[in-house]
């Protein structure tokens, strides 16, 4: 894994995820492990993650170790309408009419 002491900026790179070129099944195990390690019992289910990662309205960024190719993190943005009934898991902020859900 990339660590600050190892020169993280030289070893890690962000990639825009495209489910058409890299199917969900190829990244599923690592994404689910990262989610479970970070969020524990509050982690999203596999169905929720697959739906978001493969939704054309979502933008997914993967962080990878450039030496091993291992996924070490991820971030994604989804349209607010997907989460308006999910207030407990998300913080919604009014940013001038372009409402965004921060997950």
Q: Check residue 20 and give its pLDDT.
A: 95
Cα 29 vs. chain centroid, distance in angstroms? 13
Q: What is the pLDDT of residues 69-90, one digit of tens each?
A: 999 999 988 877 666 665 555 5
For residue 103, give every residue at least 6 positions away whose Cβ sits within 8 Å of its Cβ, in sequence order, or none: 76, 78, 83, 89, 90
What are the domain boundaries of the chain?
Answer: 4-78
Give me the average pLDDT of each 10-residue run along the chain (103 residues). Answer: 61 93 97 92 91 92 92 86 59 52 50
3 state SS of 17: coil
Rounded CA gap, 48 and 32, in Å? Answer: 11
Within a 10 A sphere around the Cβ of 102, how many other Cβ atoms? 9
Q: Check residue 85 and give its pLDDT.
A: 63
Q: What is the mean pLDDT of the chain?
A: 81
Rounded CA gap, 20 and 103, in Å? Answer: 24
Q: Check residue 38 and give its pLDDT.
A: 87
Domain 4-78: which CATH number of 3.40.630.30, 3.40.50.150, 1.20.58.190, 2.60.40.10: 3.40.630.30
């Amino acid at each position: 894994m990339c660590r600050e002491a190892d020169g993280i900026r030289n070893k890690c790179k962000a990639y825009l995820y495209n489910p058409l070129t890299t199917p969900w099944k190829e990244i599923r195990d690592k994404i689910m492990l990262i989610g479970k390690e970070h969020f524990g019992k509050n982690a999203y289910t596999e169905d929720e993650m697959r739906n978001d990662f493969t939704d054309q309205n979502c933008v997914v960024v993967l962080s990878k170790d450039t030496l091993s190719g291992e996924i070490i993190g991820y971030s994604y943005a989804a349209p607010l309408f997907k989460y308006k009934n999910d207030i407990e898991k998300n913080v919604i902020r009014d940013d001038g009419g372009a409402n965004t859900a921060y997950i």
